[in-house]
Amino acid sequence: MTSIYIDADACPVKDEVLRVANRHKVQVYIVSNGGLRPNHHPLVDNIIVPHGPDVADDWIAQRASKGDCVITGDIPLASRCIAAGAQVLQHNGEIFTPENIGHILATRDLMTDLRAANPLMQGGGKSFTKADRSRFLDALEREMRLVLKAK
């Protein structure tokens, strides 16, 4: 059965995921360490995992498989889910694939090393825009159709 897993901490597109899931009648798992208001939609399971590094990521990675969709901005989690055969989308609609995840992981690691070597190096992510939200909604709808068609 196809499911959508949301790495929910700091996820700005939960409502968009629910719109697509409702249209396709797909189960959604909202996974977090707590602190989120539970969603009472009948297709949603609110999963609260213990606090700790990567506990939510581990929960998702252990369950996501071929035919599932994972929503995350966490690159190592994306890599693990892709290896399991899941489709993985970022919050801005960009799709992590087997072809691009290696480069994205390497860039992430390089930037981590550069920031560690130069504490004055600062950077912040781009702000989340309406265009990102729209791009995400389109990408998720497209991915869900592909996944459900392949069943």
- The CATH number assigned to the domain holding 17 equals 3.40.50
**For residues 33 and 48, what is the distance between their CA atoms, to the nearest angstrom?**
5
Which segment of 52-66, 110-124, 131-145 scores lowest on mean pLDDT?
A: 110-124
Specify whether the CB–CB gap between 70 and 89 falls below 8 A.
Answer: yes
**For residues 131 and 120, what is the distance between their CA atoms, to the nearest angstrom?**
31
Which segment of 6-10, 22-26, 119-123, 129-133 scores lowest on mean pLDDT?
A: 119-123
Predicted confidence at residue 8, as pLDDT, reads 93
Predicted confidence at residue 121, as pLDDT, reads 67
25 has pLDDT over 90: yes
Chain CA centroid to CA 131, Å: 18
The number of distinct structural domains making up the chain is 1
149 has pLDDT over 90: no
- Mean pLDDT calculated for residue range 84-94: 95
| Enclosing domain of residue 140 | 3-150
**For residues 145 and 126, what is the distance between their CA atoms, to the nearest angstrom?**
29
pLDDT in tens, 37-58: 889 999 999 999 999 889 999 9
**For residues 35 and 24, what is the distance between their CA atoms, to the nearest angstrom?**
28
Chain CA centroid to CA 148, Å: 18
- Mean pLDDT calculated for residue range 61-74: 96
**For residues 81 and 38, what is the distance between their CA atoms, to the nearest angstrom?**
24
Chain CA centroid to CA 88, Å: 6
Specify whether the CB–CB gap between 66 and 49 falls below 8 A.
Answer: no
